[in-house]
Structure 1
Amino acid sequence: MTDDPNRQTPYTGTAAAASAPPPVAPRPPAQGDRTRLAILLMCATSLIFAIQDGLSRVLAQSYPTELIVMFRYWAFALFVIALVSRQPGGLRRAIRTKRPLTQILRGIILVAEMLVIVEAFVRLGLVETHAVFAAYPLLIAALSGPILREKVGWRRWAAIGIGFLGILVILDPGGGVLQPQALLPFVAALMFALYGLLTRHVARDDPSMVSFFWTGTAGAVAITLVAIGQFQWLAPTDWIWMGILCLCGITSHYLLIRAYELAEASALQPFAYTQLVWVSIIGVMVFGEVLRPNVIVGVLIVVSASLFTLWRARVRAH
């Protein structure tokens, strides 16, 4: 899944043709227009992420999860290399990092998170997996103190506690059906939170271009070492699904980059939760999943608590 809660504004670079006359600078779009466009891009990205998750579940039911993730990462790494090579300094600049071990660790954690969450899709379904995974902003807030030495006030701690109660409502431990596999999405959320915190940590020394490059390449190398022994050819139809999955991955990352170029992450994060709506529709309509009342209530609690922690972090930042 996918994907970075603390992604920075990506690196962009443009150059006018040497033979072109000096252009008349267009009037920059109003900030409100930029933000509205960014919100639309974020909503589109969330829809594509949901489609990716559905395709991942379909393929992982027939093939090893490691194989599916490896193919996805190969496509992602090619996209990263192609994108970074077009930026000022190109690949030579992107390789230079002041924190190589941390960058590699980030890539490995993100690969591990993807393995766990795809496995959760197969075992639990899309709806319940994303219901628990939605708590990752709470985990980021809880871990930012011990890892980044950031101060977490009592209001955010209260929201974190309420959010964890929401997770318990989703898991329904008193219902007698709680299985160890039900903790898979929580483990994935924990790893994604660690990845996000490490991203903020390396951002103190490395520009976003460098972090983006290492995310794709280190992850691709790590999953290849793990999964290459399970390599097998997919059925002809499944190659089509895999191609669509990889294309969705490239498109969603590009749209996400564009969205964060236009607006701050804090303004866009609430709209990332539209993915919960899309995965619920796909889970129910395509896979026949059941939207249990406790899951709906738990999701409302978790999302509300997460949005509050994001709002408090924004208030403190300003």
Structure 2
Amino acid sequence: MTTADILEAWNAHLSQSRRRSPHTVRAYAATAARLLHTLPAPQSWESLARLDAGTLRTHLAERRADGLGNVSAARELSALKTFIAFAREQSGDHDGNGDLGRPRLRGPRVKKGLPRPITPDEAVNLAETVADDASQPWIAARDRAVLLLLYGAGMRIAEALALPASVLPLGETIMITGKGGRQRVLPLLPIVRAGVEDYIRQCPWPLAKDHPLFRGAKGGPLAQGMVQRAVARARTYLGLPATATPHALRHSFATHLLSAGADLRSLQELLGHASLSSTQIYTKVDAAILLDVYRNAHPRA
């Protein structure tokens, strides 16, 4: 059996049996391919089924040496465990060590501290992991689109879920109604528009103008609790703190913009704050991040 045969079977399992999104299939296939290319040939389902925690630990150590961060390493470990569980099923061995035949290996620890915004890498990984965990491809696309709106446009979760289908087709900006009935115009990044349009293409429910844009599994409006629970599961997989909530994505949007040079008045407009004092909290957050970097990097700190 060749590496190409193994990857073809793995891709088919993910896309057909597990009904994962094309993005997830690509990511999981790339993770498996990296592992396979480090192993001696020839390979078989039986040899893959016998891989242990030590082999995975060595492989991940090499990936970390190449610059892989904690959150990405946790995500890659999860994909590798799933791949090996599949190999054991294919080999007929259902008695491997660990849950569901997966090797016992903990993901990297994420340092705990004061609540703070998550990094851009963590925000993207959170959205992708929520999508990976979804039960159907269209639900994966929906959840990813919602989280992209929170991080990419700074929406509150209530604002995103209140969007009517009449906002379609999307342009470079979108007008939303926030707290107190205040309206504001938000720019939409290409990746955000693409995420929402991917959901629209897959949504099985008709999106009439007077209906909500984001729909639940049974066709009704998508509830906040569904998104919050999906994010809670994903942050556990990734080893993120409990502060990594849907609202933290909006918080991160603001902090990262401020770090990139946005002025407070512009940020106030984007966030829909009635008072500038509500926006000024992000100057303290940004200062805290800079101080943390200084303490960790400066030789005389």
Q: TM-score w.r.t. structure 2 length? A: 0.24
- Please identify the structure whose Cα radius of gyration is greater: 2
Q: TM-score w.r.t. structure 1 length? A: 0.23
Where relative contact order (Cα < 8 A, 6+ residues apart) is larger, the structure is 1
